[in-house]
Amino acid sequence: MKKVFISTTTFGEDDPSILKELAKAKISTTMNPHARRLNEAEITDILVKGQYDGLLAGLEPLTENVLAKAKTLKVISRVGVGMDNVDQVAAKKLGIKVFNTPGVLTDAVAELTLGFILAALRKIALLDRKMHVGQWEKKMGALLKGKTVGIVGFGNIGMRVAQLALAFGANIIFTDVRKIKKAKSKQVSVARLIKSANIISLHCSGKDCVIGEKEIQAMKEGVIIINTARGSLIDEKALFKGVSSGKVACAGLDVFLEEPYKGELSKLDNVILTPHIGSYAREARVIMEKMAVDNLIKSFLK
């Protein structure tokens, strides 16, 4: 019987039949005991001691050091799209097969992004908090119609955000490492996007910081910043300064450099925070988990 560790925290909750499918394939499973993202030391210890054949992986760091020590590991099946946390070169060298689930989360992340944008423009989260403590205080918001939305990273999710925002009458500009010729929106440089957009939404991959103090200073006064992609893309200290000064009118963040997030941005009223729920739309989550399990089972059969 193959042994598989499941590092994601809510695997199978919305469709328990996924776990039954693994049992049917004679695969024993162990769930993440910490119910949060694991650090490098924790995932190394678990994989080494458990002698697992496979890993249904979340966003824990699967570095060359981790993979080299996990001598029995043969398959990594990411429950998600991003592969930044997996050293794929090391995996290939060690003979570990790596899979992900592309295309599943497009609508889930794009709709969450639109929710952030509308909540920021109309101050929904702020006014909700005030109502809950008995304060009836009206604050003027703004329309999405007519605003310039700058999208950094124009893959499937970035394109879907553009479609949704266009339906509200927004203007779209975007930047991407590729030249995209058929897009209905205008492709511009990162510098121009930062200077021109009323709303900036991040949908790129990678670990490099895209928005720091320099970029925030170059933005329009009262800009809105949304990040549903990678926590590393924003310098959180620079963002705190930008929001505190009023340069940034509001920020909406679903991802953070360290998770669970307990930083100072949580002290600011005009920052909307969610606990990395981009994939937490029931329909998308179930499909993603099934795809990850199918990838795992098929790899064991080859």
Answer whether the bond into residue 260 is a cis peptide, omega within 30°: yes
Q: First vs last Cα of the chain: how many Å apart? A: 15
Contact 72, 53 (CB under 8 A): yes
pLDDT (mean) for 80-99: 94
What local confidence, expressed as pLDDT, does residue 181 receive?
Answer: 84
> Is 171 in a helix, a strand, or coil?
strand
Q: Does residue 259 have an active-site annotation?
A: yes
Q: pLDDT grade, residue 182 (50/70/90)?
A: confident
Please determine, for residue 21, whether its predicted confidence score (pLDDT) is greater than 90. Answer: yes
Residue type, 170: A
Q: Does residue 230 have an active-site annotation?
A: yes
- Read off the pLDDT of residues 195-250 as tens digits, 9 standing for 90 and up: 999 999 999 988 899 999 999 999 999 999 999 999 999 999 999 999 999 999 99
Handedness of CA 92, 94, 96, 98 (dihedral sign): negative
**Catalytic residue from among 230, 236, 285, 289:** 230
- Read off the pLDDT of residues 190-200 as tens digits, 9 standing for 90 and up: 999 999 999 99
Q: Does residue 276 have an active-site annotation?
A: yes
- Assigned superfamily of 2-103+281-301: NAD(P)-binding Rossmann-like Domain (3.40.50.720)
**Domain limits of the chain?**
2-103+281-301, 106-273
Please determine, for residue 302, whether its predicted confidence score (pLDDT) is greater than 80. Answer: no
* d(C-alpha 10, C-alpha 276), whole Å: 12
Please determine, for residue 49, whether its predicted confidence score (pLDDT) is greater than 90. Answer: yes
**Catalytic residue from among 40, 258, 259, 283:** 259
What local confidence, expressed as pLDDT, does residue 127 receive?
Answer: 97
Residue 147's contacts (CB-CB under 8 Å, 6 or more residues apart) are: 121, 170, 171, 198, 199
Q: Which CATH number fits domain 106-273: 3.40.50.1110, 3.40.50.10110, 3.40.50.720, 3.40.50.2300?
A: 3.40.50.720
pLDDT (mean) for 242-268: 96
pLDDT (mean) for 19-34: 95
For the entire predicted model, the pTM comes to 0.88
What local confidence, expressed as pLDDT, does residue 209 receive?
Answer: 95
**Catalytic residue from among 236, 276, 285, 289:** 276
Identical fold at 2-103+281-301 and 106-273?
yes
What local confidence, expressed as pLDDT, does residue 109 receive?
Answer: 97
